[in-house]
Amino acid sequence: MDKHLFILRQKIKNKQLKIAVVGLGYVGFPLALEFAKKKVEVAGIEIDADRLKSIAQGKSYISDISSQELKAILASGYFKASGNFEDIASADVVLICVPTPLKGKNLPDISFIRSAVNQVAEHLKTGALVILESTTYPGTTEEEILPIFQNHGYKHGRDFFLCFSPERIDPGNKKFPVHKIPKVIGGLTPIATKLAMAVYQIIIKRVVPVSSARAAETVKLLENTFRLINIGLIDELAMMAHEMKIDIWEVVEAAATKPFGFMPFYPGPGVGGHCIPKDPLYLHWKAKSFGFHSRFIELASRVIDYMPEYIVKRVKVALKNRKRALAGAKILVLGVTYKKNIKDLRKSPSIDVISSLKRQGAKVFYADPLIPFLKVKDLDLKSVHLTGQRIKEFDCCLVATDHAQINYAVLLENAKFIFDARNAYKGNHTEKVERL
């Protein structure tokens, strides 16, 4: 292995390595292009035909990557995409960036990881470095991935190296693009960790080594469990504050002036996206195998899961106070993506709000500048064009996702009543606006 190790180190040092990125989603795609920008040869491997077609046409399907940027990188020749796993055979480094969803309510599903790793093992070049980026429970790299390679006849430290490095991409966050986010790295051995550090240092200024892959896996889960629990806390406090006739938004903003010991979190209709609703449950599940029950994670998840129903309950009471029943009322939901200014519907709480409103007999419409058609679950709707005249038709306009492109002044001028679940209206509009 010494010969292969020397060759790999030299290739990394001279940026003469070839990288294969398995999975060109919100994690793998930006990562692949970042390496290509540094003139590293990258092969992107993707099984989704629509994504491959978009790339071939120079059309980006990721909000953080412009089509212009994609075309420039394709023209450079340093990035190509295909559905062919045989491209791994020439790769010195393989990054695995595939989804890790939940089965049902809270069971981890690492079938995508297993499938990808089996394909990688079929074609892996001797001496290559494999890095998993997909968020997963502690022990996955060592207990699930390593045995797959071993079953294919590979010995760690002799034939290949294995690491875990959690993705930290925050879609839509222009302040922290890929190259500005510190990278945590944990290998199965110190040599594996150092190799991965050298690879990521090509594109990222700061890399943070930890003692093991298991520690690195837990880092990601800690980050998102921290957020889940604090969001659950502020959601509960928002409900409590409403009963006590206290403005939770005012309280949070005032508390945020403390320069130490406090970090502001804000309430909303729930939590969506790829990480926060799921990642803590991976940790919760794994802890159970050690006989440990995580009450904080379970409680925070329950509180957050209740928020769409709570929003509907508040809307129902507000309409009743205005002599209007929810059943039969025309409700316009503004914003259906899980996060403002992001074209992503994954686990969006707005969808749950719409479904709940429909179950209770409301006539539901939506307006979202990023989602012209909404075809998810049992919904098949078209976005409403927001004109003053159209807004006047609705009994309630519910701000569920506060996109910057929504004209809130026009909405306020023409709406009969606005329920603001995102604090889009920070001023005093008590006659027309009720905030969460």
Active site residues: 275
Q: In 124-153, where does DSSP find H-type helix?
A: 140, 146-151
Let me know: does 103 contact 282? Beta carbons within 8 Å: no
- Three-state DSSP at 97 gives coil
Which candidate, 100, 109, 111, 26, places its Cα nearest to that of 62?
Answer: 26
User: Would the CA dihedral through 201, 206, 208, 209 be positive or negative?
Assistant: positive
Cα→Cα distances 393→215, 260, 332, Å: 55, 47, 9
116/102 Cα distance (integer angstroms): 17
190/201 Cα distance (integer angstroms): 16
325/387 Cα distance (integer angstroms): 25
Q: Residue 343 burial (CB < 10 Å; 0-12/13-18/19+)?
A: middle
Between the two ends of the chain, the Cα-to-Cα distance in Å is: 61
Spell out the residues 6+ positions from residue 67 whose beta carbon is closer than 8 angstroms to its own: 58, 59, 60
430/418 Cα distance (integer angstroms): 10
3-state helix, strand and coil shares in percent for the chain, rounded to the nearest 5? 40, 15, 45
Q: In 91-212, where does DSSP find H-type helix?
A: 111-123, 140, 146-151, 190-200
Enclosing H/E stretch for 312: helix 295-321
Let me know: does 366 contact 331? Beta carbons within 8 Å: no
Residue 306 φ/ψ, nearest 5 degrees:
-80, -20
E runs forming strands in 244-370: 330-334, 363-367
- Token pair belonging to 362: 């409301």
